[in-house]
């Protein structure tokens, strides 16, 4: 197969969206009488190679090797669905194109007073809100054991909103010393779930621009930069190497603009001016 033919092959599509956003409906409209199967139940040898294929829920324990084989060898059109992108293995994502299903949910107009379906795999924002505001601590413990957020991450998020004294024992005695399920259960019952204030989410720290500046200037020892800035010749070298933002970060003020010499127009009257 030539490189031109390889570039013309249509890549499979992963439709990403939360429950009830119409992922399957969208996929069925794009396929012609497809075979529908799930990512954790595939049997590669039993699939007709030329028929369209819809692979559902590749975010939940997918058979990666079988799916990769299908994506390479299957002749029909292939579409996959997932509730989020982060749960899909990178080996599968790298072979597909991503398409978003959108945020509109369907089905509420049929039963407007119905209780919305619970998301069994909430993100860290939703998990933190459930932990702080849900008094049913058994349900909170089950969610933590199912989602399994990183211990340092969940502790940092919770410390922003509740008294750290409630988390000291779990952090110092339980974390990484007891079994992981015990850690999530102890963490769940460390709070009563009666938080009524505004939830504060941790903000991402700002990285120092000095390492990048030193690399551009060719300096390996960062602590020498402050001493070098005392030299006027080095400051002239810095002006030519750094942009205005990096120049201000060093505390040197605004970077001087280069003034171009104005061209002096010759206003001498010649004979051609009178012709």
pLDDT at 87: 86
pLDDT at 4: 40
Percent of the chain at pLDDT > 70 equals: 87
Average pLDDT, the chain: 82
pLDDT, mean of residues 44-66: 86
CB 124 within 8 Å of CB 148? no
The per-residue pLDDT for range 88-145, each reduced to its tens digit, is 999 999 999 999 988 777 766 666 676 666 667 788 888 888 899 889 999 999 999 9
pLDDT, mean of residues 166-182: 88
206 vs 168: which has the higher pLDDT: 168
93-102, 223-232, 259-268: least confident range: 259-268
Q: What is the 3-state secondary structure (H, E, C) of 139-167?
A: HHHHHHHHHCCCHHHHHHHHHCCCCHHHC
From first CA to last CA, the distance across the chain in angstroms is 72
Torsion of CA 59, 60, 65, 67, to 10 degrees: -60
Task: Tell me how far CA of residue 128 lies from CA of 165, 188, 196, 269, 272, in angstroms.
Answer: 18, 11, 13, 81, 83
Percent of the chain at pLDDT > 90 equals: 19
The domains of the chain, with CATH numbers, are: 10-100 (3.40.50.300), 124-188 (no CATH), 210-249 (no CATH)
pLDDT at 231: 82
pLDDT > 50? residue 270: yes
- What is the C-alpha separation between 42 and 152, in angstroms, rounded? 36
**pTM for this entry:** 0.48
- What is the C-alpha separation between 264 and 270, in angstroms, rounded? 17
pLDDT at 5: 41
pLDDT > 50? residue 8: no
31-40, 142-151, 189-198, 229-238: least confident range: 229-238
Q: How confident is the model at residue 210 (pLDDT cuts 50, 70, 90)?
A: confident
Q: How far is CA 272 from the centre of its chain?
A: 70
User: What is the torsional sign of CA 70, 120, 84, 54?
Assistant: positive
Nearest to 204 by CA among 153, 144, 245, 149: 153
5-9, 30-34, 225-229, 246-250: least confident range: 5-9
pLDDT > 80? residue 6: no
pLDDT > 70? residue 2: no
Q: Is 67 exposed, middle or buried (0-12, 13-18, 19+ CB in 10 A)?
A: buried
The per-residue pLDDT for range 58-84, each reduced to its tens digit, is 988 888 998 999 998 888 899 999 988
pLDDT at 127: 87
107 vs 15: which has the higher pLDDT: 15
- What is the C-alpha separation between 77 and 75, in angstroms, rounded? 7
Q: How confident is the model at residue 187 (pLDDT cuts 50, 70, 90)?
A: very high
pLDDT at 189: 92
- What is the C-alpha separation between 190 and 174, in angstroms, rounded? 12
The per-residue pLDDT for range 251-263, each reduced to its tens digit, is 777 776 766 677 7
């Amino acid at each position: 197969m030539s490189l031109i033919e390889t570039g013309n092959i249509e890549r499979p599509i992963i439709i990403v969206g939360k429950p009830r956003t119409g992922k399957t409906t969208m996929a069925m409209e794009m396929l012609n009488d497809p075979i529908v199967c799930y990512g954790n139940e595939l049997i590669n040898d039993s699939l007709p190679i030329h028929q369209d294929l819809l692979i559902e829920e590749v975010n939940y324990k997918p058979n990666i090797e079988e799916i990769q084989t299908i994506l390479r060898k299957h002749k029909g059109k292939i579409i996959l669905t997932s509730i989020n992108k982060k749960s899909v293995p990178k080996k599968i994502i790298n072979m597909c194109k991503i398409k978003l299903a959108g945020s509109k949910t369907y089905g509420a107009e049929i039963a407007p007073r119905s209780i919305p379906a619970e998301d069994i795999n909430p993100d860290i924002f939703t998990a933190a809100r459930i932990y702080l505001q849900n008094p049913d601590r058994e349900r909170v413990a089950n969610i933590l054991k199912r989602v399994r957020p990183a211990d340092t991450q969940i502790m940092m998020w919770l410390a922003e909103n509740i008294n750290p004294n409630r988390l000291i024992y779990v952090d110092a005695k339980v974390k990484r010393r007891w079994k992981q399920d015990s850690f999530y259960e102890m963490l769940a019952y460390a709070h009563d779930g009666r938080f009524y204030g505004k939830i504060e989410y941790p903000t991402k720290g700002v990285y120092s621009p000095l390492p990048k500046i030193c690399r551009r200037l060719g300096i390996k020892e960062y602590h020498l930069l402050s001493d070098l800035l005392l030299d006027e010749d080095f400051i002239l070298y810095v002006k030519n190497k750094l942009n205005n933002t990096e120049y201000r970060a060093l505390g040197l003020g605004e970077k001087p603009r280069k003034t171009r010499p104005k061209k002096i127009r010759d206003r001498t009257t010649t004979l051609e001016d009178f012709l």
